[in-house]
Amino acid sequence: MGKEKNPRRVAENEAMAKTRMLRTSPQKLNLVAAMIRGKKVEKALTDLTFSNKRVAQDVKKCLQSAIANAENNHNLDVDELIVAEAWVGKNLVMKRGRPRARGRFGKIMKPFSEITIKVRQVEEQA
């Protein structure tokens, strides 16, 4: 009997990975995501390795997961992969506070975000 197979959410030559609950603001994370969009995966990994941004290591981990998904789950060639899309979304915001002068209360927002990376196999032109 069994269930029907789920349809793929991405094209046949694509794979993706998602990381949730990254402890940084989406604006800061988007700077790192913009750094790797459209690049070959080897170049993107190198850029993330030597980036000074703290969140770059988490993005690198997500990119490595997308590459592993492409290789192991979808039988794509790692040498022909590019970062097709990398988008950032909001997650929860922890609300903290600090007492301020004259009985006031200063709000401190601690945002979380998530990143989704999609890699695509493209044939190299000779």
Domain that holds residue 18: 14-121
> Under DSSP, is residue 26 helix (H, G, I), strand (E, B) or coil?
helix
pTM, entire model: 0.91
Domain membership of residue 6 (yes or no) is: no
Q: What is the pLDDT of residues 5-55, one digit of tens each?
A: 888 888 999 999 999 999 999 999 999 999 999 999 999 999 999 999 999
Query: Which of 6-27 are b and which e, b meaning 16 or more Cβ less than 10 Å from the residue's Cβ?
Result: eeeebeebbbbbebeebebbbe
| Distance (Å, whole) CA 33 – CA 109 | 22
Q: What is the pLDDT of residues 80-113, one digit of tens each?
A: 999 999 999 999 999 999 999 999 999 999 999 9
What's 85's domain CATH number? 3.90.470.10
- Render 27-88 in DSSP notation, one character per residue: HHHHHHHHHHTTSBHHHHHHHHHT---TTHHHHHHHHHHHHHHHHHTS---GGGEEEEEEEE
Domain membership of residue 44 (yes or no) is: yes
Domain count, the chain: 1
